[in-house]
Amino acid sequence: MTPELAGTDVLKLQPTDRDAVFVIATDPEAPEMAALLSPRRLNGAAGATAADLLGLPDDQAKQVELINPEDLTGIGLAAYLTDGMGLNAAAVTQDKSSLNALQGPVVLLRGRVSEGRNQDVVLPRGMSLVGRYEAERSAIGLAPLHSIAASGIGAPAAVPPMGPTPRSRAWIASLVLGIGVLLALVAIALWLL
C-alpha cells in the first residue's frame, strides 16, 4: 500500500492520513543515516533524530518511531505493526515478506504529524517509503430505538407534578411497632404483679 509520492523523495500527507502509519526503510550505508546509527539513539533520542532528518519540528518527534528489525527477532516487523500498533492486518499481511525482510533501521511516521492539513515530508537520501497502513477500526453497530416516542406514534404520557409528600409508610410502621412494644411491656408488668 504505497501512498502518493511527489517525485521520489517527497511524501504527501493529507488530513485523511491521521490514523495511518508510514513505514520508511533506511539504508545504513547512506552517510545521511549515520545519525540514526549513533549511540545517541539508544538514549531515547531516536524519535527526535529521525524527526530532524525528516525536517519535522521538535514537538513532532513523538509522532516518529525508530525500530531496529534486529530487536524484533522472533516477532517480525509485520507482527509488531499489527499486534503492537493495531494496524490493519490484511494490508500488513499483504506486504509481510517485504516488511520482515528489512535489515536496517525502520522509521515509523504517524500520519497525525500533519495535524489535519496537507503537508509534504521530504525523505532524505537513504530513506525510502515501504508502505502506508491504516489503524484497525471496529464497526460500531447502533440499533434503532423501538419505542412509541421514537416512532412518532404518540407522545409519552404527562405525569402531574408531585404535591406535598404524605406521611411515609415507615413512620406508620414505626408507630405500630412502638404501640406493640408498649402493649407487651404492659402485659409483662401485669403478669409480674
Q: What is the pLDDT of residue 3?
A: 45
Q: What is the pLDDT of residue 141?
A: 63
Task: Look at residue 36 and tell me if it is in a domain.
Answer: yes
From its phi and psi, is residue 44 left (phi > 0), alpha (psi between -120 and 50) or beta? Answer: left
pTM of this structure = 0.64
Question: Measured in Å, how far apart are the chain's first and last C-alpha atoms?
Answer: 102
Task: Look at residue 186 and tell me if it is in a domain.
Answer: no
Task: Look at residue 151 and tell me if it is in a domain.
Answer: no
Distance CA 35, CA 118 (A): 28
- The helix (H) or strand (E) run that includes residue 65 is strand 64-67
Q: Residue 89 is part of which domain span?
A: 5-134
Q: Say if residues 20 and 113 touch (Cβ distance below 8 Å).
A: no
Task: Look at residue 38 and tell me if it is in a domain.
Answer: yes
Interior angle at CA 27, CA 23 and CA 29, nearest 5: 165
Q: What is the pLDDT of residue 181?
A: 92
Task: Look at residue 193 and tell me if it is in a domain.
Answer: no
Bridge partners, 67 (sequence order):
106
Task: Look at residue 153 and tell me if it is in a domain.
Answer: no
Q: What is the pLDDT of residue 4?
A: 44
- The gap from C-alpha 116 to its chain's centroid, in whole angstroms, comes to 17
**CB proximity list for 124: less than 8 A, separation 6 or greater:** 9, 32, 53, 54
Task: Look at residue 176 and tell me if it is in a domain.
Answer: no
Q: Say if residues 10 and 82 touch (Cβ distance below 8 Å).
A: no
Percentage helix, strand, coil, to 5, in the chain? Answer: 45, 20, 40
Instruction: Going residue by residue through the chain, which has 193 residues, state the pLDDT in tens, using 9 for 90 and above.
Output: 444 444 457 888 888 888 899 999 988 888 888 777 765 454 567 778 888 888 888 888 888 888 888 888 888 899 999 988 888 888 998 999 899 888 888 889 988 887 778 888 888 888 899 999 998 776 666 666 565 555 555 555 666 666 655 666 776 778 888 899 999 999 998 888 7
Distance CA 131, CA 148 (A): 51
Task: Look at residue 180 and tell me if it is in a domain.
Answer: no
Domain count along the chain: 1
For the four alpha carbons of 34, 36, 38 and 40, in that order, the dihedral sign comes to positive
Q: How, if at all, do strands 127-134 and 119-122 pair?
A: unpaired
Q: Say if residues 95 and 131 touch (Cβ distance below 8 Å).
A: yes
